[in-house]
Amino acid sequence: MCGIVAYIGKKEAYPIIIKGLKRLEYRGYDSAGVALFNEDLRVYKKKGKVNDLVSFVKGKNLEGHVGIGHTRWATHGEPNDINAHPHTSDDGRLTIIHNGIIENYATLKEALIKEGHTFTSDTDTEVLIHLIGTLQDKDNLKLEEAVRIALSQVVGAYAIVILDKDDPTKLVAARKASPLVLGIGQNEFFLASDATPLVGYTSQVVYLNDEEIAVVSNDGTFEIKTFDNEIQTPYVQRLNMNIEKLEKGDYEHFMLKEIYEQPNTIADCMRGRVNAAAGWLKMGGIEVQEERIFNAKRFIMAACGTSWHAALIGEYLFEELARIPVEVEYASELRYRNPIINKDDVVIALSQSGETADTMAALELAKEKGALIYGIVNSVGSSISRITDSGSYIHAGPEIGVASTKAFTGQVTALTLMAIYMGYKRGTIPKSYYHQLLEGLEKIPAKVKEALECDNQIKKLATKFINTNHTLYLGRGYNFPVALEGALKLKEISYIHAEGYPAAEMKHGPIALIDENMPVVVIATNKSAYEKIASNIQEVKARKGIVIAIVTKGDTEISKIADYTIEIPDTEEPFTPLLSVIPLQLLSYHIALARGCNVDQPRNLAKSVTVE
Ligand code: M6R
Does the structure show a pLDDT above 80 at 610?
A: no
DSSP assignment letter at 75: S
Query: Does residue 359 line the site of ligand 1, with CB under 6 A?
Result: yes
**Which amino acids are annotated catalytic?**
2, 607
pLDDT of residue 110: 95
Q: Where are the domains of the chain?
A: 3-244, 248-429, 448-601
The stretches of 7-158 forming alpha helices (DSSP H) are 13-24, 50-56, 105-114, 124-139, 143-152
pLDDT for the residue 147: 97
Q: How far is CA 330 from the centre of its chain?
A: 15
Mean pLDDT in the chain? 94
Average of pLDDT values for 307-330?
A: 97
* Cβ 355 vs Cβ 610: under 8 Å: yes
Q: Is 411 in the pocket of ligand 1 (CB under 6 A)?
A: no
* 248-429 matches 448-601 in fold: yes
Decide whether any atom of ligand 1 lies within 6 Å of the 402 Cβ. Answer: yes
Measured CA distances, 423 to 7, 69, 137, 173, 429 (Å): 50, 49, 63, 47, 5
pLDDT, residue 245, reads 78
pLDDT for position 382 = 87
pLDDT digits (tens, 9 = 90+) for 108-132: 999 999 999 999 999 999 999 999 9
Interacting residues of 78 by C-beta distance below 8 A, sequence separation 6+: 122
Classify 261 in phi/psi space as left (phi over 0), alpha (psi -120 to 50) or beta: alpha
* Tens digits of residue pLDDT in 285-312: 999 999 999 999 999 999 999 999 999 9
Q: Calculate mean pLDDT across residues 328-336.
A: 92
Q: Does domain 248-429 have CATH number 3.30.70.3270?
A: no
CATH architecture of 448-601: 3-Layer(aba) Sandwich (3.40)
pLDDT digits (tens, 9 = 90+) for 68-85: 999 998 888 888 999 999
Distance in Å, CA 299 to ligand 1 centroid: 21
Phi/psi region, residue 559 (left: phi>0; alpha: psi -120 to 50; beta: rest), is alpha
Q: How many CB atoms lie within 10 A of CB 225?
A: 17
Cα–Cα distance, 57 to 65 (Å, whole number): 17
- Orientation of helix 406-426 relative to helix 576-594, angle to 10°: 170
**48 pLDDT more than 80:** yes
Cα distance between residue 202 and residue 239, in whole Å: 8
Task: List phi, psi (to 5°) of 125.
Answer: -65, -40
Task: Quote the pLDDT of residue 302.
Answer: 97
Q: Does the beta carbon of 307 lie inside 6 Å of ligand 1?
A: yes
User: What percent of the chain clears pLDDT 90, i.e. is strictly above it?
Assistant: 86
**Residue 592 to residues 459, 463, 595: CA-CA distances in angstroms?**
11, 10, 5
* Distances from the Cα of 539 to the Cα of 249, 482, 529, 535, 584, angstroms: 45, 21, 15, 6, 22
Does the pLDDT value for residue 59 go beyond 90?
Answer: yes
Dist CA 488 CA 9 (whole Å): 44
Q: For residue range 470-522, list pLDDT tens digits in order.
A: 999 999 999 999 999 999 999 999 999 999 999 989 889 888 899 999 999 99
Closest ligand 1 atom to 607 CA: 14
- Over residues 98-116, mean pLDDT: 93
Centroid of ligand 1 to alpha carbon of 517 (angstroms): 30
Q: Which fold has domain 3-244?
A: Glutamine Phosphoribosylpyrophosphate, subunit 1, domain 1 (3.60.20)
Q: How far apart are CA 391 and CA 393, in angstroms?
A: 7
DSSP string, 392-419: EE-------SSS-SHHHHHHHHHHHHHH
